[in-house]
A and B are shown apart, each in its own frame.
Chain A
Amino acid sequence: MKILKILNGIVALALAGSILLFSDWENREAKKEKNQPIAGNTGENAIPGKKYTIGLTYFGPDATLDATLAGLWDGLKELGFTKDSNLKVIAQHANGEIGNLQPIHLNMDNQPVDMIVVTSTPGITAAISAVKNHPMVFTMSYTPLEAGAGNSYSDHLPNITGVGSFPPVERTFNFIKDLFPEAKRIGTLYNSSEANSVKVVKTAKDYMKLKDLELIETTVVNTSEVYQAATALCMRNIDVMWVTGDNTALQAIHGIIKVCRDNKIPLILNDVDYVDQGALAAVGIGWYKTGSQTAPIVARVLNGESPAGIPIINYVEEDIKLNFEVAKELNITFPDIYRSIKTPESEKIYKFCLAHYVDSPNTDEVEKGIKDGLKNNGFIEGKNYSLKIFNAQGDVSTLNSITEVVGSDKWDLIFASSTPTMQSFSKKIKQTPIVFSNVGDPVRAGLGESFTKHLSNLTGISTMSDFDGLVNLVIESMPGIKIVGTIFTPGEINSVAYVEGLKSAAEKRGLTLITVPANTATEVADAAQAITSRGIEAFTQISDNLTGSCYSSIIRESYKSKIPYFGFVSDQAKNGAVAVVARDYYSAGIDAVELAMKVLNGKSPADIPFKFVSKTSVKVNKEAMKYFNISIPDKFLNQEEQVIKQVENLK
């Protein structure tokens, strides 16, 4: 019986299959995945074919506004109002000065708009007196009633309604107390003509009495006074600086941050969007959600409903954000209750996995960042979480197997590094939340239409390089430069995207970018020689997987031909590059964990926009600067944290 020979094969398959099934035993009585339908918006939808115009007024460009507006536009888009398509937006801002608010609202009232969206509390005050002809909807305001919008949420002026968000003041001071049990004197500064700040500070004072804290306050009139006021406050022996969402103070937040850092005073804010810039922490409001809650109201008013009949709502999504870097500088450890995620399920062991496509220095850094990020948030491996790591080692069929393995198991969250991993995962895994990092251009990779509108179970960190930053540095360090060059790898999607990004950044500033392709490690050296003969005055070398691992041969060529090398990877500075503007892959890991924490706290990944990695650092090599006779302007050097002193035998 020849046919029996196949039995051998069947037996082998059955054996392998049962081993696999055996390892899968604990998933046997698998529970049904919960499928929670996302609650639909109740606001009215856009009438097809109709064009709408919104007037938008704001205090000045800032991070909080960006978050709120992102939420607002996304919310409106869901209702059929697409910005720049059937929705025209006429925007005006007051340059961060209260005095300008009145004129811009008067002006806006004479514009051909259907309605006006007013932001910030002082904005509401100005709008109420200035706008007579248009209905208004406000958002991003702590205290709309104090601003004069009405007596209560239902009894308000007939031409204005909106969403108020009073900050979690009590929680802020509980947080400060938990962090600094010894603290007595809390300093703050605000603009006393902002009703929001006055109300918050009053609420704070009342609560502080209970907590045995003393508030040392200073008021300012405009942004130019902020720096001085902050310096004065620090002289007054305060333990902690607290700044609430005062528009004037936030416009000059850099000054406050600098003063606090210089005096080693911890800075606590109420706006999470500013923490990255150097505050210790913020206990505040997730403004994106506030923005999206405003969208249905805006939609109703756009469709002709009078604001009079729409009650004001108060909406606060509390959010705590910590800055571990600043904490390290100040030698502070966050208490466990804040480090660990906010809704700790006791005894729960979180199950995470992390998948890489290839081994490279960048993926190693990302992995380190993710592990440290988890540690910063109170996760201890083996105790309350497990992290399983996969690596396809550059092989697509293995990647598919990894996708199956990951897809068939249950995870609290999946981390994915690099573009192919993410593409493969997003195709197969639809339920488990995925947070990616180390993906150059997530939109081009097909993960979403934009940074805010993307596949619903994933979000993550884009590590697209800071091209404008590097081009700017090159131009300012080498005045008169005309031609720069880079080697790229046509076979890598990131590489091609980087070249395009660099090209448009260079062309914007009048530089010509010469590119030479290389496909294998051996071709990189040849390509470097070829490109030097094409008249380039500097290398502006992008970092893809290939040139990222073979950059030393390019740097060697750069020294031979006396053409300076600028790059995007921090390591390259100490190995002979004149300067680098580096996205920090370690931070890309940390940032991914930050998004992961939001997801674990119950926020849907769909509501978390993709983000660029938060940290870009400029590093210079003084020896190389001398060798190439280049002086890099001081303003870049101030950012630079690490001065590298030696060049390793490259000359």
Chain B
Amino acid sequence: MSLLIGSTTIGLILALLALGIFISFRIFDFPDITAEGSFTFGAATAASLIVAGTNPLLASFIAFLAGMSAGAVTGIIHTRFNINPLLAGILVMTALYSVNLHVMGKSNMPLLSETTVFTWIENLSVSFSGADARTLILGWEVSVKDLWLLAFCFLAITGFGVILWWFFKTNIGTAMRATGDNDQMIRALGVNTKLMIIVGVALSNGFIALAGAMLAQFQGFADVQMGIGMMVWGLASVIIGEAIINDNSVGFVITGAVLGSVLFRLLVAIALRWGLNPNDLKIITALFVFIALILPGLLKNKKLSFKSKANA
């Protein structure tokens, strides 16, 4: 049970990453590789600030801004200098590696004895129900602290999801979505699409950096290599989410990204829990994702015998 809770918590934290990826890949159709750099950038910024004594919430917010600035740079490189989006992302991601080393001053920064957002939540749990309080859920004994962490992550991610959903309903948000869908049309309506792309990619990387900042606080350290592979996982979460929810409206896609992220973590946990040969972990993960992608389609075909609908 505590494994389920822990994995769900990680899934919710990484859902921030999925939301970021969702903005660039899905809203703007912008293949943004900056993610791998900005994820670490957020972690590094938050970690350094926390070690320097900054309030962890403020540090996380600054990490969000830091990620936005990185994304803005990618956006500007792409729109002003007409550089292919992939290449623009690669440039910024590569540069961020050095930036991150400078931000932390070293390649790995422990936060084990620092006060983080999660320490606050743990302290809150302690003040309500005591230091080592445990409770029974369906017969499993779980730590109350872990439940608090889960509840916090759930509320936070719900909050961010609602904000994002609201944002994409506003005028500027609608213009952004339109930029991704049909930029000629929206340009004809007098919207500056270049600005939209810059803001959008910035927003996307802000979320990704926030995910990095949160993960660093959760796991107790920031490492300059922690961003590697993150973009793929984020993308996988978004696509799994789309596959299982199967609806294109903004609210559903956002919900899907969160669900996808959590589901993905649960699948990894299952693969690990079954004690497979560690060398096979990645192929099993890939297999699980594949099944998660095709299963909803298969079920649908059987049940409703509708024409099969291709999923992205």
Contacts and interface: CB of A to CB of B under 8 A. Distances in A.
Interface of A: 2, 5-6, 8-10, 12-13, 16-17, 19-21, 23-24, 27-30, 32-33, 35, 356, 359, 388-391, 393-405, 407-409, 419-420, 423-424, 426-428, 444-447, 455, 489-493, 495-496, 519
B97 interface: yes
Contacts of B112: 423, 426-427, 446-447, 455
A28 B101 contact: no
Q: Which 3 A-B pairs have the closest CB atoms?
A: A446-B110, A427-B220, A493-B108
19 contacts: A5-B246, A6-B252, A10-B259, A16-B266, A20-B4, A20-B266, A20-B273, A27-B1, A390-B278, A393-B278, A393-B281, A396-B219, A398-B268, A400-B10, A404-B269, A405-B269, A424-B219, A427-B112, A490-B224
B19 interface: no
Contact of B226 (A16, A29, A359, A396): A396
A338 to B, nearest CB: 32
B219 A23 contact: no
Contacts, number: 196
Contacts of A492: 107-108, 225
A314 to B, nearest CB: 37
A389 B259 CA distance: 29
B219 A403 contact: yes
Nearest to A519: B97
B272 interface: yes
Interface of B: 1-4, 6-8, 10, 14, 97-98, 101, 106-108, 110-113, 132, 134, 138-141, 215, 218-221, 223-230, 233, 241, 244-247, 249, 252, 255-256, 259-260, 262-263, 265-270, 272-275, 278-279, 281-282, 292, 295-296
Contact of A391 (B220, B221, B273, B281): B281
A584 B265 CA distance: 36
Nearest to B268: A401
A28 B140 CA distance: 5
A409 B269 CA distance: 12
Given A2-B252, A9-B241, A23 B226 contact: no
B161 to A, nearest CB: 12
Given A9-B255, A398-B281, A428-B219, 8 more contacts: A9-B263, A28-B140, A29-B139, A32-B141, A391-B281, A396-B223, A397-B14, A409-B3
Contacts of B292: 12
Contact of A419 (B108, B224, B275, B295): B108
A491 B224 contact: yes
Contacts of B2: 404, 407-408
B278 to A, nearest CB: 4
A391 B282 CA distance: 10
B245 A9 contact: yes
Contacts of B260: 9
A180 to B, nearest CB: 42
Nearest to A394: B228
Given A13-B262, A404-B6, A20 B270 contact: yes
A396 B296 CA distance: 29
B225 to A, nearest CB: 6
Contact of A393 (B110, B132, B273, B282): B282
A389 B280 CA distance: 12
A32 B295 CA distance: 40
B266 A8 contact: no
Nearest to B219: A424
Nearest to A500: B106
Contacts of B244: 8-9, 12
Given A8-B244, A390-B278, A408 B107 contact: no
B268 A423 contact: no
Contacts of A402: 272
A35 B134 CA distance: 13
Contact of A496 (B107, B141, B215, B241): B107
Nearest to B295: A12
B241 A2 contact: no
A237 B256 CA distance: 81
B227 to A, nearest CB: 8
Contacts of A9: 241, 244-245, 255-256, 259-260, 263
Nearest to B273: A23
Q: Interface centre among A30, A32, A405, by most B CB within 10 Å? A: A405
Contacts of A427: 112, 218-221
Contacts of A446: 110-113, 220-221
A423 B110 contact: yes
A28 B141 CA distance: 7
Contacts of B256: 9
A104 B74 CA distance: 72
A388 B275 contact: yes
A394 B229 contact: yes
Given A423-B219, A491-B225, A35 B132 contact: yes
